[in-house]
Structure 1
Amino acid sequence: MPLTFEDLLARARALPRLGHRALLGIAGSPGAGKSTLAEQLVRTLNGEGEPWVAHVPMDGFHLADVELDRLGRRDRKGAPDTFDAAGYAALLRRLREERDEGGEVVYAPGFERVLEQPLAGAIAVPPTARLVVTEGNYLLLDTGAWSRVRAQLDEVWFCAPDEDERVRRLVARHEEFGKSHQEAVAWVLRSDERNARLVAATRERADLVVRDLVGWPDRHGRPRTGGEPGPVGTDTGC
């Protein structure tokens, strides 16, 4: 029987334990719907009463363009070695170790989509946040500093939508943030799809695979119609 969005909410609610903050990771290839799912989970769970869930995306750990230029990696922006993976793993560890009583606000970097640059200290995680949802491409990668990430996460869900739909959404997203259609297609085929193949190979390490995404509220709270992403069909990978 396929899981519903309500099933995913129940699974997320059950993650925090008494006295311990839980970290939920959402992984998947570029354009898989990770941010949309994370944002809707956080919005819905926080709408049930006092806010208790925080959202800390991996994208805040993009290296700045000036550093990518220095390293000669600007044309591969989005590849694993264009992030501060060690810094991301260290932040997750700090978030895990913080306790509600006597804890302090933890500041995490954000990412400005229009500028395509990280922003230091853009996200505040209060000590009252009992669940932190983080999402990104490489949460399940087991090479280099990325291998430290999985150990900090209580669960990782992997978004695996229809591939044609994923690519279509990815091209549309690049167009939304300033690329022409030709530039968007070229970037997706040259860079994003190379990264997507790498990410797809990590799917078996996930605790849950979310696929056939149809039939849940969009980021504005409106019910989705056929052909739009939303978690319905799933299979477990734990």
Structure 2
Amino acid sequence: MTLTFDSLVSRARGLVSGGRRAVLGIAGPPAAGKTTLAEELVAALGPEPPYGPAAGAWVAHVPMDGFHLADVELERLGRRDRKGAPDTFDPLGYAALLRRLLADEDEIIYAPGFERVIEQPIAGAIPIPRTARLIVSEGNYLLLDDPAWRPLRELFAEVWYADLDHPERLRRLIDRHVRFGKDETTAIEWATGTDERNAVLIEAARERADLIVPAAVVHSVGNPPG
């Protein structure tokens, strides 16, 4: 069967059958379309809960990017020049948030967001109400087979991999860097240097995904920034 965006929507809805809370992960290298895919899924799912009348928002979007380490900490650690690498995040904090969400005990949980204009995490930026049954969370390293990141895998009901073709992904990545303040030369250097080294790590874990979302589907949901 040919995979379509509509079939992804149906598959995501099925993860919370019976009203349980579940986390759907979307992984992929920088600018593969993870953020746009997550946002479009949430928008498509929101009006049609899979069970009964909705008493409140039943689907929420919680990006991994809120767990970037702040620049001041990256400077202290000597990692500022490779921001975006696996060890420039807080995977344990991210895992703790996912476990708290899955425990399903709190009326509201606040997750950190990430502001691209200043390229900094923002605490308490994303409210997740108790009514949210499906949490869609995208990030680069959800499938990484590394001691710090490996425990995350069991917290996701499924992880999908956004498989955008390399030339298009690189074009979008450079455009994104320029859009958020880098000059073109710096944008190209960063995209083909630090970002590309990270992409190699991410692509090596591709086979650990439950589902590969092909480029055709990624293209069908717009011009993704994430």
- Indicate the TM-score class for this superposition, using the shorter chain for normalisation: over 0.9
Amino acid at match of 2:75: D
Does 2:89 match 1:83? Answer: yes
Structure 1's unaligned 5+ residue stretches are 219-227, 230-238
Q: When the two structures are superposed, what TM-score results if normalisation uses the length of structure 1?
A: 0.88
Of the structure 1 ranges 43-52 and 138-147, higher mean CA displacement relative to structure 2 is found in: 43-52
CA contact (8 A) 1:21 1:98 kept: yes
Return the alpha-carbon distance in structure 1 between the equivalents of residues 137 and 61 of structure 2.
Answer: 6
Structure 2 counterpart of 1:97, from 72, 83, 103? 103
Output the CA distance in 1 between the equivalents of 2:58 and 2:220.
22
Structure 1 position 104, deviation (Å): 1.5
**1:160 aligned to 2:166?**
no
Question: Higher helix share goes to which structure?
Answer: 2
More contact order relative to length (CA 8 Å, sep ≥ 6): 2
**80, 84, 103: which one pairs with 1:74?**
80
Residue 205 of structure 1, CA deviation: 0.3
Distance 2:43 2:34 in 1: 14
Indicate the residue corresponding to 1:233 in structure 2.
Answer: none
Aligned residues: CA RMSD: 1.4
Task: Name the CA distance, whole Å, in 2 between partners of 1:132 and 1:77.
Answer: 26
Aligned pairs (5 A) from 1:23-34: 23-34=23-34
1:32 Cα deviation from its structure 2 partner: 0.4
Residues 116 and 180 in structure 2, CA contact (< 8 A), matched pair in contact too? yes
* Alpha-carbon shift at residue 136 of structure 1 (Å): 0.3
The 8 Å contact of residues 46 and 53 in structure 1, kept in 2 or not, is answered as yes
Residue number in structure 1 paired with 2:190: 187
CA contact (8 A) 1:89 1:145 kept: no
Q: Which amino acid aligns with 1:23?
A: V
Matched, 1:12 2:12: yes
The size of the alignment, in residue pairs, is 217
Distance 1:167 1:139 in 2: 21
Q: Deviations over 1:21-70 (max 9, x none)?
A: 01100000011000000000001111336431000000000000000000
Question: What's the counterpart of residue 60 of structure 2?
Answer: 54
- 2: CA distance, partners of 1:85 / 1:217: 28
Query: Structure 1 residues 217, 196: CA separation in 2 closer, same or farther (over 3 Å shift)?
Result: closer
Percent of counterpart pairs with the same letter?
Answer: 62
The residue that corresponds to 2:35 in the other structure is 35
**Separation in structure 2 between the aligned mates of residue 84 and residue 138 of structure 1, nearest angstrom:** 11
